[in-house]
Amino acid sequence: MRIVHFLSRSVLMAIAQIPLWSSLRSAPTNPLPKNAFRTFKVKYNSNNIDLPFMAKVSVLKTSPKTVVEDYGRLLHLLRYEKSVPKENKTIIKLNLSWTLYYPACSTEPWQLDGLLKTLRDDGYKELTAVENQTVVTHPWKGAHGNKWLPVLKKYSVPFKPLTDVKWVSYTPKKELMVMQDLFKGKDRGILVPKMFFDTNIVHLPTMKTHGHTVMTGAMKNAFGGLIPKYRHHAHKMIHEVLVDLLSIQKEVHKGIISVTDGTVCGNGAGPRTMMPHIGNLILASDDQVAIDAICAKLMGFDPMKIRFIKLAHDKGLGIGDVDQIEILGMNMKDFRRTNFHFKTEKSLVITWDQRLRKGTANLGLLHDLLFHSAFFKLFIFASETYHDRFWYPFIGKRRIDAFLKTPWGRLFERYPQGPMPKYAEVKQWDPY
At residue 143, the pLDDT reads: 97
- Number of neighbours of residue 336 by Cβ within 10 angstroms: 12
> By three-state DSSP, how is residue 92 classified?
strand
At residue 367, the pLDDT reads: 72
Encode burial over 18-28: b for 16+ CB neighbours within 10 A, e otherwise: eeeeeeeeeeb
With a CB cutoff of 8 Å and minimum separation 6, the contacts of 116 are 92, 127, 151, 152, 154, 155, 157
At residue 303, the pLDDT reads: 98
Q: What 3 state SS string does 253-311 have? A: CCEEEEEEEEEEEEEEECCCEEEEEEEEEEEEECCHHHHHHHHHHHHCCCHHHCHHHHH
What's the CA gap between 369 and 390, in Å, rounded? Answer: 27
What's the CA gap between 363 and 378, in Å, rounded? Answer: 19
What's the CA gap between 106 and 298, in Å, rounded? Answer: 19
At residue 319, the pLDDT reads: 97
Distances (CA, A) of 142 to 63, 80, 130, 139, 185: 25, 28, 12, 5, 31
At residue 43, the pLDDT reads: 30
At residue 182, the pLDDT reads: 76
- Domain boundaries, given as residue ranges, for the chain: 56-414
At residue 360, the pLDDT reads: 84
Closest CA to 255 of 196, 312, 325: 196
At residue 183, the pLDDT reads: 73
At residue 185, the pLDDT reads: 57
Q: Which residues of the chain have pLDDT under 50?
A: 1-53, 186, 431-432
At residue 301, the pLDDT reads: 98
* Cis amide bond preceding 28, omega within 30: no
At residue 42, the pLDDT reads: 33
Count Cβ atoms within 10 A of the Cβ of residue 181 and give its class: 0-12 exposed, 13-18 middle, 19 or more buried. Answer: exposed
Tell me the Ramachandran region of residue 195: left when phi exceeds 0, alpha when psi lies from -120 to 50, beta otherwise: alpha
| Amino acid letter for position 332 | M
At residue 352, the pLDDT reads: 77
At residue 108, the pLDDT reads: 98
